[in-house]
């Protein structure tokens, strides 16, 4: 059974995977170092395993092995679902990953067939077994059990035990997964302490003073963050001691986790799962999203898809967005993305373009200028799209697209439809679920309004997009009437 979620809760669920991967990729370039207090923390890549900028490591790869099974709707905590996760772990191992923890390697190198065999192998491994390798991947478990708190804890324990036969690793996974589940549902970090109220007394007595230490101490107090206990403390220290007055907390805390040094990709990935659950996908910077990639050949849009499918219990794409028509000002629309009918210069203009720049303020133009000076020195092509901040608008992003000028001598309808479909594709990259469009090219570019409506509706309905809701914003009642008739 799957709970009905609000848009905010779904956004926070998507944030779990995006922010976890972002923390992982952010920390990858600093692994086994201790960055100076004034060092700039960024997705630089490199590190001991020569990662590409934005490439995630074993932390996210193993988390996605879990997310892929969760997205199928299988019960990941037992039976066939647990066997499927074990199989995905082995498939990842067979890809010859550059970085893999010692405990995990000792288990997966025997390529155990099924969850029972994998768990038996984990139990047979000698020596220390309390590494951070099961905690780093536990975040997706929360998404599969938003409807069942107890099953969530049980699944976290079962999946941890596939590779880590250690009571503290089990408890850490249960605590953190509980906290992520709570944050997705309620938008707070209260689940960290809340776990102690439901945990067995010996577990609560063990973890309570350690959480106190994380909140009041420094990384020197928990410096062995390859150990699951110190890894959790490092992540919670970064979250609990960083300014949390706004959604920028996500970036600030991830940078703080990296500054703690040591196993930086893992502690930042652990922190990222909970930060994303609290602040949502919108708090993950657009530049980071564009860079994210890794095993098994996925990128940020795939993480969005997997997170949404996990919480909804299905992996299939939606049949298409709900399309609404409103009469009004596009700059006031409370959606994830507002589409700007821009010109190729991206430097502002009249009509919708001018209104968006005016209402959104100078940050939009500043990002447009940066894009022109870097990735688009010749301007944005007709039919293409690019995203920036939304500045002061109630939306989160502006997607700028260039519609064609209408011509009697040449059929440019393919370019017009492309302006819509490319905008939706960029919205998918951002993880957006609601998008507001103007009627592109129907103003000064002279496209006949009736045909502009036909092209818009055909493009939106035919797009392969995960966007749930499209708002077509009409300038006047007559245009709204045309749009409504076009949707019939």
* Max CA pair span of the chain: 80
Q: How far apart are CA 338 and CA 467, in angstroms?
A: 13
Spatial neighbors of 306 by CB under 8 A, at least 6 apart, are: 17, 64, 67, 68, 70, 71, 140, 315
- Tokens 């490439």: give the residue: 55
How does DSSP assign 134-201, residue by residue? Answer: TGGG-HHHHHHTTT-HHHHHHHHHHHHTTT---HHHHHHHHHHHHHHHHHHHHSSSTHHHHHHHHS-H
Instruction: Give the residues across from 401 on adjacent strands.
Output: 341, 385
As given in the structure block, the two tokens for residue 413 are 């309808």
Of 108, 119, 203, which Cα lies nearest the Cα of 153? 203
Please classify residue 197 by burial: count the beta carbons closer than 10 Å to its beta carbon, then call 0-12 exposed, 13-18 middle and 19+ buried. Answer: exposed
Distance (Å, rounded) from C-alpha 28 to C-alpha 442?
47
How far apart are alpha carbons 341 and 406 in whole angstroms?
14
Residue of 399, 390, 412 whose CA lies nearest to 467: 399
Could you tell me the two tokens for 48? 């001991």
Starting at the earlier edge strand, list the strands of the sheet with 337-342. 322-327, 469-474, 434-437, 337-342, 397-402, 385-389
CA–CA distance, 82 with 103 (Å, rounded to integer): 19
Residue 387: strand, helix, or coil:
strand
Q: Is 314 helix (H, G, I), strand (E, B) or coil?
A: coil
Per-position b or e across 299-328, b if 16+ CB within 10 A of its CB: bbbbbbbbbbbbbbeebeeeeebebebeee
Q: Which is catalytic among the residues 353, 384, 428, 429? A: 353
273 Ramachandran zone, left/alpha/beta (phi>0; psi -120 to 50): alpha
Say whether 341 sits in a helix, a strand or coil: strand
Return the structure tokens found at 288.
Answer: 């980071």
**Is 353 part of the annotated catalytic residue set?**
yes
Annotated catalytic sites, by residue?
353
């Amino acid at each position: 059974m799957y709970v009905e979620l609000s848009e905010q809760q779904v956004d926070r669920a998507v944030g779990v995977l995006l922010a976890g991967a972002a923390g992982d990729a952010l920390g990858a370039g600093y692994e086994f170092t201790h960055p100076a207090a004034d060092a700039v923390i960024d997705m630089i890549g490199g590190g001991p395993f020569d990662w590409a900028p934005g490439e995630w490591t074993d932390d996210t790869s193993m988390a996605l092995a879990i997310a892929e099974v969760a997205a199928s709707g299988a019960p990941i905590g037992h039976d066939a679902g647990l066997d499927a996760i074990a199989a995905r772990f082995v498939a990842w191992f067979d890809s010859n990953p550059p970085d893999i923890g010692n405990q995990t390697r000792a288990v997966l190198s025997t390529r155990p067939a099924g969850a029972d065999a994998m768990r038996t192998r984990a139990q047979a491994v000698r020596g220390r077994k309390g590494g951070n390798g099961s905690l780093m991947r536990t975040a997706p478990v929360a998404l599969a059990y938003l409807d069942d708190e107890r099953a969530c804890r049980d699944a976290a324990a079962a999946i941890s035990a596939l590779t880590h036969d250690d009571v503290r690793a089990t408890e850490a996974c249960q605590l953190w997964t509980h906290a992520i589940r709570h944050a997705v549902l309620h938008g707070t970090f209260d689940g960290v302490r809340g776990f102690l109220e439901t945990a067995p007394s010996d577990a609560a007595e063990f973890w309570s003073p350690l959480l106190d230490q994380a909140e009041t101490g420094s990384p020197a107090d928990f410096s062995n963050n390859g150990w699951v206990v110190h890894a959790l403390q490092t992540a919670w220290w970064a979250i609990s001691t960083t300014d949390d007055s706004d959604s920028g907390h996500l970036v600030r805390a991830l940078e703080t986790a990296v500054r703690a040094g040591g196993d930086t990709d893992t502690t930042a990935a652990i922190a990222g799962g909970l930060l994303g659950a609290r602040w949502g996908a919108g708090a993950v910077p657009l530049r980071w999203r564009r860079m994210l990639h890794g095993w098994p050949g996925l990128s940020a849009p795939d993480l969005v898809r997997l997170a949404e499918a996990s919480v909804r219990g299905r992996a299939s794409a939606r049949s298409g967005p709900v399309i609404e028509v409103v009469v009004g000002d596009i700059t006031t629309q409370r959606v994830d993305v507002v589409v700007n009918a821009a010109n190729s210069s991206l430097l502002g203009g009249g009509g919708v373009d001018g209104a968006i720049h005016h209402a959104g303020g100078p940050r939009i133009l500043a990002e447009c200028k940066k894009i022109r000076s870097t990735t688009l020195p010749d301007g944005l092509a007709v039919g293409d799209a690019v995203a920036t901040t939304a500045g002061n608008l109630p939306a989160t992003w502006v997607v700028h697209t260039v519609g064609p000028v209408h011509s009697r001598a040449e059929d440019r309808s393919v370019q017009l439809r492309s302006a819509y479909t490319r905008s939706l594709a960029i919205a998918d990259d951002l993880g957006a679920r609601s998008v507001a469009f103007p009627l592109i090219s129907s103003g000064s570019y002279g496209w006949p309004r009736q045909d502009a409506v036909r092209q818009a509706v055909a493009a939106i309905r035919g797009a392969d997009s995960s966007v749930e809701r499209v708002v077509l914003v009409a300038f006047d009642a007559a245009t709204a009437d045309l749009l409504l008739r076009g949707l019939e």
